[in-house]
Structure 1
Amino acid sequence: MSEQEHTPERPLRRELPEEVAEEVAAPPTAVPDAAVQEPRPEPNGRQRLVKSLWPPRVSRAQLIVALLLFGLGFGLAVQVAANSEGDNALRGARQEDLVRILDELDDRTERLEDEKQGLEKQRDELENSSDQAEEARRQTVEKERQLGILAGTVAAQGPGITMTIEDTKGTVEANMLLDAIQELRAAGAEAIQVNGVRVVAGTYLTDSDGQVSVDGNKIDAPYRFQVIGKPQDLEPALNIPGGVVQTLEKEQATVTVERSSKIVVDALRAAKRPDYARSSSQ
């Protein structure tokens, strides 16, 4: 019985070494292609540029510069829009209005050129005079007279205009009269008087209890402006499109302008001595 029991085990023992040999000799299992890691390609210049720009890295200084540039661009856009509105207003004006505006600009340029030539003439006279001290005194007296007219301390007369504003509706306010004064000054007015009140450099207008006050003096309608200057410059300046006359007429006021070869401005202002300012020659 012992031989029969050991007989079937022998072929198993013979096969075991063969199986082991076959396993050793068997080729290694192939690795799937998907499992093989290929080397990553180097990024090109465009990819490196995109990677450096995104996500953005903004410093505090760059943010401040960006805000400043934004504010500058916004201001320029507003300025361009404002200029476009002005261009549209002129584009819709009549031909005669455009001619009048151009004439006024030419007149202002001519006045500035005349003033420049006058100053140059005074300089030449002072430099070429044989008695420079006497010439300097003469020019000082003349300058004092001119400054007295501007300061309202002396009376004046000369060609100019008279502008009368009828305000039956009570709609004319101080700022409208102030606009008229500023427009007249820009047109070359040398002396202005409103309802007996002399207008000078420091004149102010206010609304008080339904009335207009000039330097604290209440005046009533009709408002009468007596202005010394070149009538050919003063009147067109008031009648330009969108100017003083049109603005007052929109408020249902009536404006009349009359030219005259002689306008008298005789309302005087007391000379005020400055509290702190003194002549540097003293």
Structure 2
Amino acid sequence: MRLTGRHVIFSLVLFVSGFLVAFSYQQTNQDPQVYQLTDKQLEKDFYYRQQLINIEKENQSIREDIEEKKSEIQKMENQLANQEQTVSDYVQDKKTLQKLTGELPVKGIGVEIQLKDADYIPSEENVNQYIVHDSHIHKVVNELLSAGANAIAINGQRLYRDSYIACVGPVVSVDGVQHPAPFVITAIGNPDVLMPSLTLKGGVVDQLLSDNVEVTTQKKDIINMDARLTGER
């Protein structure tokens, strides 16, 4: 029988088909069988999965607790910060009051006023009309306090809330300490406020000049005043 091209092709197809079937059979025999879990193994697998789920839930709960604690800590820190600021304000207020009462030293800018007896006293005039009296010092001190002076001293002696000024013959007594003229009054405060308050027309300086008191005023860049000594009046 004569072979034609059709026979060759048909044979080739059969050969390839047979090869594929044989190869598939061989691979099937070589592949491991599907592993089947036993009931005990399934139960153990379920147990472990459940444990993992429980652990995840606990971790989530712990994370939520941590966030809550962080929030509480933040609130406490804010409260402490507010308390610290309040305490700081109290301390600052205390220091300010202590400076005003003389319990702490104080320094700052301010003004200086010098009061002197008149250089020339007519022979026929009463000498008391040409010298500085305690009333003149009171005028200056009161004006300075009204203008906002933080601290005042006379001839370097600091005045306190209970200080007194009085004439004792030719001298002026400040808390029992006698001071002769000239009297240098220093005041710590804003000089741009204190000076105009003293020198305004018809004000304290004009009144002193009309009483024959020689007055000089100047601004000071720095004035130092000591604290009140223990037992000092």
Q: TM-score, normalised by structure 1?
A: 0.48
**Residue aligning to 2:179:** 219
Give a deviation string over 1:168-219, Cα, whole Å, max 9, x none: 4652211111111010011110011111211122221111122211112111
Q: Residues of 2 paired with 1:221 and 1:129: CA distance?
A: 58
Is 2:110 the counterpart of 1:165? no
Between the two structures, name the one with larger relative contact order (CA 8 Å, sep ≥ 6): 2
**CA distance, structure 1, for counterparts of residue 204 and residue 79 of structure 2:** 46
Identity over aligned pairs, percent: 31
Structure 2 matches for 1:1-282, cutoff 5 A?
Answer: 130-168=80-118, 171-266=131-226, 268-270=228-230
1:129, CA displacement in angstroms? 6.2
Shift in alpha-carbon separation, 1:245–1:137, aligned structure 2, 3 A? same
Counterpart for residue 65 of structure 2: none
* Runs of 4+ residues over 4 Å off in structure 1: none
Structure-1 separation of matches of 2:229 and 2:183: 20
Distance 2:189 2:107 in 1: 10
Question: Aligned AA for 2:169?
Answer: D
Offset of residue 270 of structure 1: 3.5
Per-residue displacement from partner, 1:58-80 (whole Å, max 9, x unpaired)?
xxxxxxxxxxxxxxxxxxxxxxx
| 8 Å CA contact retained: 1:162, 1:260 | yes
**Is the contact between residue 115 and residue 215 of structure 2 (CA under 8 Å) also seen in structure 1?**
yes
SS of the residue 1:131 aligns to: helix
CA contact (8 A) 2:116 2:215 kept: yes
The Cα shift of 1:131 comes to 3.0
Q: Which runs of 5+ in 1 are unaligned?
A: 1-127, 274-282
Return the letter of the residue paired with 1:233: V
Cα RMSD (Å)? 2.3
- The alignment of Structure 1 onto Structure 2 pairs a total of residues equal to 146
